[in-house]
């Protein structure tokens, strides 16, 4: 099977491309490399030294004998996208090619517009390219649990059955996104749902929780294959940030009370979930939604787990509660369903002491690369 991984130079995309290649899929990577540009714009670097994409792919081929095709360009450019799809002829499209940071999208008007144009227009172009020439291709799209917000009822997987005035229907689950980034994902979901209903396309939306970890079997094979690990206040995610802060002796940055509860999963489960979706495609006209996470934690609970693991390793770890730069409920009900991927065979890697030790040791190894000025949040959701 031929799988094109859009955004294959990024955190989830790189790990997924290597994982699929290692399992015998014929893989191509399409990427504009803009993620590296955004690092330059913000003046930050990933904790881990990332080689050029061409060097990474050459090293992969040297080690495994497997080649991955590379297409450098922007999917908001329809002519480029159309030409690439014609050349590669994919059976499945794995779409990670979006601006994925909530803080980045909330910097100012320009970054909000950039996020929405990049994400919504890129996905629309994909849908039209599929309609025109690849109607049987399966789109596996990375969504986000953040589309749902924090409703005071259980979160279903994409759809909810409602009875109203004596009539019943199953409808898309209501969305309450918390940033311009999450809002772009909601637009994507509506557009993909429309394309499946009206044009008969097939798609799976993976509403992913917060990912942690850096090592998969493939990215751990060689230093040149190493994955990125972001710790800054714009692109860094909670558990990864906490582990890096602990490694350098910086107090853990918990926003507000720390009662914000979210779904989390290991990067090794991300790549497996994508494979499960590809191997079990949606039917023509079907828009499936899988909630892609394995455990639920509050931010405060995570910080405490990192503190305890760090203290056990001899690190002096403290927790600081900062004024929350985001507009969000800090204490709330959160109970989300996540059975569909488990039913397909996902065997989760749950957050354990050994995983925390591994992450902390990884952070300690590269701690000299940390820029202390980039740790605290600099983007506010509040009106000035």
Residues designated catalytic: 144, 181, 185
CB-based contact 300:245 (threshold 8 Å): no
Phi, psi dihedral angles at 298 (to 5 degrees): -85, 155
Q: 63: helix, coil or strand?
A: helix
Tokens of 165: 């005035």
| DSSP code for 223 | G
CB-based contact 294:145 (threshold 8 Å): no
Give CA separation, 124 vs 164, 285, 289, in Å: 33, 17, 18
As a residue count, the chain comes to: 384
Q: How far apart are CA 297 and CA 219, in angstroms?
A: 26
Scan for tokens 């637009």, then name that residue: 187
* Residues pairing with 252 in the sheet: 319
Residues 6+ apart with CB under 8 A from 116: 105, 180, 183, 184, 187
Phi, psi dihedral angles at 214 (to 5 degrees): -135, -25
Helix axes 180-199, 109-116, angle to 10 degrees: 20
């Amino acid at each position: 099977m031929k799988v094109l991984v859009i955004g294959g130079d990024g955190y989830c995309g790189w790990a997924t491309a290597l994982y699929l290649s290692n399992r015998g899929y014929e893989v191509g990577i399409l990427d504009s490399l803009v993620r590296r540009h955004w690092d330059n714009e913000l003046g930050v670097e990933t904790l881990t030294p990332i080689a050029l994409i061409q060097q990474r792919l050459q090293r992969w081929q040297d080690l495994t004998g497997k080649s991955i095709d590379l297409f450098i360009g922007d999917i908001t450019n329809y002519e480029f996208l159309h030409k690439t799809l014609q050349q590669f002829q994919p059976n499945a499209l794995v779409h990670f090619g979006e601006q994925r940071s909530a803080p980045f999208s909330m910097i100012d008007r320009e970054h909000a517009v950039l996020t929405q144009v990049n994400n919504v227009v890129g996905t629309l172009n994909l849908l039209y390219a599929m309609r025109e020439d690849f109607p049987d291709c399966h789109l596996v799209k990375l969504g986000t649990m953040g589309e749902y917000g924090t409703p005071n009822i259980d979160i279903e997987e994409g759809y909810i059955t409602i009875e109203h005035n004596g009539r019943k229907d199953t409808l898309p689950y209501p969305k309450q996104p918390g940033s311009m980034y999450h809002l772009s994902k909601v637009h994507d979901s509506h557009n993909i749902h429309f394309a499946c209903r009206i044009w008969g396309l097939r798609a799976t939306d993976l509403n992913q929780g917060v990912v942690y970890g850096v090592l998969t079997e493939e990215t751990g094979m060689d230093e040149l294959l190493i994955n990125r690990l972001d710790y800054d206040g714009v692109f860094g995610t909670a558990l990864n940030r906490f582990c890096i802060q602990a490694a350098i002796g910086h107090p853990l940055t918990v926003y507000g009370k720390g009662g914000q509860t979210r779904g989390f999963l290991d990067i090794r489960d991300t790549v497996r979930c994508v494979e499960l979706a590809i191997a079990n495609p949606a039917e023509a006209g079907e828009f499936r939604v899988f909630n892609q996470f394995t455990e639920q934690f509050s931010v405060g609970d995570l910080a405490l787990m990192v503190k305890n693991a760090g203290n056990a390793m001899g690190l002096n770890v403290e927790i600081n509660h900062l004024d929350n730069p985001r507009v969000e409920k800090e204490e709330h009900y959160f109970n989300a369903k996540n059975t569909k991927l488990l039913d397909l065979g996902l065997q989760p890697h749950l957050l354990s002491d050994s995983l925390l030790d591994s992450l902390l040791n990884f952070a300690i190894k590269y701690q000299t690369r940390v820029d202390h000025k980039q740790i605290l949040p600099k983007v506010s959701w509040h009106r000035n």
